[in-house]
Amino acid sequence: MAQEVVKPDEQVVLGEEIENIRVITLNRPRQLNVISSKVVSLLAKYLEKWEKDDKAELVIIKGVGRAFSAGGDLKMFYDGREPRDSCLEVVYRMYWLCYHIHTYKKTQVALVHGISMGGGASLMVPMKFSVVTEKTVFATPEATIGFHTDCGFSYMLSHLPGHLGEFIALTGARLNGKELVTVGLATHYVPSEKMPELEKRLMCLNSGDRNAVKSAIEEFSLDVKVDEESVLNKQSTINECFSKDSVEEIIKSFETEASKEGNAWIGPMLKSLKRSSPTGLKITLRSIREGRNQTLTESLKKEFRLTMNILRTTISNDVYEGIRALTIDKDNAPKWDPPTLDKVNGEKVDIVFQPFKDELELQIPEKEECRWDGKYEHSAYAQVTEEAK
């Protein structure tokens, strides 16, 4: 498995047990708390242990520094491009974990102060309670680097009002704390200076009773009203453009709207769309559209297939080129292949959506009594790896 660079004594995730409260702290502030293989393994270990612990009632998750979590460790993926499937284990474990976060039995509170993007936001949005501040910044910018909207977001974004999900996924548009609460991607808005006090209040509560936790948060939360220039006030334009059948039609419609008075906000969004990976855009649009008619489990299994096919460069090398341009060479000048939307072969896109053999799919347990089954170490992939040693 691809290994991220972590100092041997570095505690990337802290897990605390204080009476009936359990606290997870993402502890890689210099790396914006990115999610690595070690982070995924520790999160899974703590969450399973605490769900089975009768004394554990409330789980709080937070990040150190200016980020909650900036998402997956892109350098880990880039360094793991050879040999084949170096990152398969961390991908499998992460998507399996996403299902368990969505369906977790204990009360959870995410205290989200700062950057919360991509896979990092999958530790926020599904929580029973997710508290954001004026400094929270959310985005799912994966398509811009030749990847796709993953970690359950093809399901979550597709259920937003109208065609807001397609807009967020394709443009990488950022939402602030007030906007997140307004669209239902967070539950409460609390001023950042009140967050330490809120955390202290939750610790003193020493209970996972949902009504009690909700009341405690509401002692500090404010009602929200989005700013006049918010993209949420552009819903009719977004619906008009992002309801189109193809990425090409979406861009053409968006260009038409951009020429109208009062639509200067579209310019930066169009620029982002046109700079993004054509292959990434086409895969992302289809995935979001499919997510609208899928269950969470179906969406996660689909995302696993897409991720593995993308990392295997089944139809394009764009993801590694996108990471190179953004974080390795930092020239912000990716050379996409193919370079334009009209050159992306629809039949090739079909390939990355094809189901795997049953034993090679993401194994998400169907029976409640077996809900922690399906771990990577019991999968067909782990058996193959073991036999190869």
> Catalytic one among 63, 114, 118, 119?
119
State if pTM tops 0.85.
Answer: yes
Query: What confidence tier does 350 reach under pLDDT thresholds 50, 70, 90?
Result: very high
> Catalytic one among 72, 146, 280, 291?
72
> Catalytic one among 57, 73, 150, 179?
150
- Measured distance CA(187)–CA(213) in Å, rounded: 12
Q: What is the DSSP string of 23-80?
A: EEEE--GGGTT-B-HHHHHHHHHHHHHHHS-TT--EEEEEESSSEEE--B-HHHHHHT
Q: Is the pLDDT assigned to residue 125 strictly greater than 80?
A: yes
Per-residue pLDDT tens for 194-222?
999 999 999 999 999 999 999 999 999 99
Is 119 one of the annotated active-site residues of the chain? Answer: yes
Is 303 one of the annotated active-site residues of the chain? Answer: no
Per-residue pLDDT tens for 355-366?
999 999 999 998
Query: What confidence tier does 3 reach under pLDDT thresholds 50, 70, 90?
Result: very low
167 contacts 242 by C-beta, under 8 angstroms: yes
Q: Is the pLDDT assigned to residue 7 strictly greater than 80?
A: no
Per-residue pLDDT tens for 55-105?
999 999 999 999 999 999 999 999 999 888 999 999 999 999 999 999 999
Is 208 one of the annotated active-site residues of the chain? Answer: no
Average pLDDT score over residue span 173-185: 98
Is 118 one of the annotated active-site residues of the chain? Answer: no
Per-residue pLDDT tens for 261-314?
999 999 999 999 999 999 999 999 999 999 999 999 999 999 999 999 999 999
Q: Is the pLDDT assigned to residue 230 strictly greater than 50?
A: yes
